[in-house]
Amino acid sequence: MLNVKGMVVEDARIMDSPLRPEPVLEVRVRPRAGMLRCSRCGRKRPGYDRGGGVRRWRHQDFGCWRVGAGRRHAARGVPPGAGVVVAAVPWAEPGSRFTRDFEAECAWLMTVANQKTVSGFLHVAWRTAGDIAHRYEHTSR
């Protein structure tokens, strides 16, 4: 369903609450086993710990459902001279709250429609759509 290499789906469920405007399909994911990659340099590094908290990324909609990919723990590694950093994940750029597929879709839509239309279609803020397109333009070169 998510079609992301290097990702293992652990669980999927529909999350509905009065705090959300509409139900969301939450998918709990993790990277495939192996050494962690530093989110700064991309090299394989030994792990430091499993991290804490939950990290979530917005993925492309699945039919009428919004999709969120999340992990219970964000593993951390120790690259030389950089301190402890969150390990890279194969489905998102470091520091992004969106999957690579979502960002690619947003950037493509920005080539055929205006920013207001894209933000409404993807259910993100107007500024977020512009930021994603700008970031995608600089990372895809």
% of the chain exceeding 90 in pLDDT: 21
The whole-angstrom separation of Cα 22 and Cα 20 is: 5
Average pLDDT score over the chain: 81
Is this prediction's pTM over 0.85?
A: no
Q: Which two structure tokens, joined as six digits, stand for 126?
A: 């107007």
Beta-carbon contacts of 112 under 8 Å, excluding residues fewer than 6 positions away, are none
For residues 52 and 94, the answer to whether their CB atoms sit within 8 Å is no
Specify the higher pLDDT residue, 120 or 46: 120
Q: ∠ at Cα 1 (131, 126), nearest 5°?
A: 20
For residue 1, the model assigns a pLDDT of 66
The string of pLDDT tens digits covering residues 46-81 is 777 767 667 888 998 888 788 888 875 667 776 666
